[in-house]
Amino acid sequence: MQQLNCSSSCQLTDDFPICVAVCAILGLGFVLGVPGNLSVLVILIKRLKENNFTIRMMLSLAVSDLLILLQLPVWMWAVLHGWVFTSTACKIISYVEYWCIYCSAFCVTLMSVQRYMHVLHHHKWAKLGTRRENGLLCGIWILSGVFTLYAPVQRDVGCEQYGFLYCYQQFRNKTEQVATLLFEILLFVICFFLLFYFYYRLYRGVNESPFSSSNRMTKLVTRIVVAFFIFNFLVPVANILIIIAIFLNNQNFYKHADLCGNVARALTFLNSCVNPFLYTFSLRGLQRD
């Protein structure tokens, strides 16, 4: 759009196999995740009358995951055929995508804190009340929205480094790019640390209690931590590789690291498919612990 030598399709570039692989991952996420999250929404909405904070957190998670997955056909088309929408659409879709991804990660993290407090410090958590619990959920959406403000500023339509028209991050300089990558790495490290720490403390507490069976909790804790780590850890790894490539000023290394980043970000969408099965279908088991 902005450059005459820009192709409108990834099919005309040497990276077409990578584009196909990314679309395959996104397509799998859409086919599995949308029906799963819709089913979860129906189940959870029926149970809202129970006034259970765990259910409200899962509902918030399902909404954010569903909004992420509903955008996948747009990105699949853009990867294979180029960006055919306006620059404004690029900014809005990117903002919603980042907003929901951060919200999903924060919901998962809050679940670990809530389960720890509810099981081992029930009386302290009960003092919050419904209003403050809802305030926590609203705070997650607001905080995610604030953290995502950089997305529409940096995203625009143009001829990116692989030679085709796309909606991608355009940095004014290397300092801005490194700062953005470090910010995303820091968010992952904080979320994963809190997730692991509180579930580990929960497992230890339940395991030491003579009144609770920890077998079910052990399996669930393992699945939650492993799933979050598997589907998300490649993004900060790719970001680190990109930062190294920037400091080395190695364009070939940078291109390969960026391609790894594209595949890694596509894999994070699969986490939105796993979440409904991981949390909702474990709800009954959690309430018995």
Q: Note whether residue 72 is domain-resident.
A: yes
Residue 96 pLDDT: 94
Q: Would you say residue 204 lies in a domain?
A: yes
Task: Report residue 45 as tokens.
Answer: 């909405």
Looking at the domain assignment, is residue 286 inside a domain?
no
Averaged confidence pLDDT in the chain = 82
**Assigned domain for 1 exists:** no
What is the tens place of the pLDDT at every residue in 230-242?
Answer: 888 889 999 999 9
What's the pTM value of the predicted model, to 2 decimals? 0.86
Average pLDDT over residues 216-244: 81
Confidence class of residue 214 from pLDDT cuts 50, 70 and 90? very low
pLDDT at 266 over 60: yes
What's the structural domain count of the chain? 1
Q: What is the pLDDT of residue 201?
A: 84
Strand partners, 156: 168
Give the pLDDT confidence score for residue 2 in this predicted structure.
Answer: 40
The residue whose two tokens read 């569903």 is 66
pLDDT, tens digit, 9 for 90 and up, residues 49-95:
878 888 888 889 889 999 999 999 998 888 888 888 889 999 999 99
Query: For residue 214, what are the contacts with CB-CB under 8 A and spacing of at least 6?
Result: 203, 206, 207
Radius of gyration for the alpha carbons in the chain, expressed in angstroms and rounded: 20
Q: Tell me, yes or no, whether 4 lies in a domain.
A: no
Judge whether residue 281 has pLDDT over 70.
no
The pLDDT > 70 percentage for the chain reads 83
Q: What is the pLDDT of residue 284?
A: 55
What is the domain-level CATH number for residue 157?
A: 1.20.1070.10
Give the structural domain span for 159: 10-281
Which of 2-11, 47-56, 87-96, 194-203 has the highest average model confidence (pLDDT)? 87-96
- On whether residue 289 sits in a domain, the answer given is no
Residue 3 has pLDDT above 50, yes or no: no
pLDDT at 162: 59
User: What average pLDDT does this structure show over 119-140?
Assistant: 87
Q: Taking 80 as the threshold, does the pLDDT of residue 223 lie above it?
A: no
Task: Answer yes or no: is 195 within a domain.
Answer: yes
- 70-104: burial string, b at 16+ Cβ within 10 Å, e else: ebbebbbebbbebbeeeeeebbebbbbbbbbbbbb
- Which of these, 157, 174, 152, lies nearest to 6 by C-alpha position? 157
Q: Does 191 fall in a domain?
A: yes
| Residue 111, pLDDT above cutoff 80 | yes
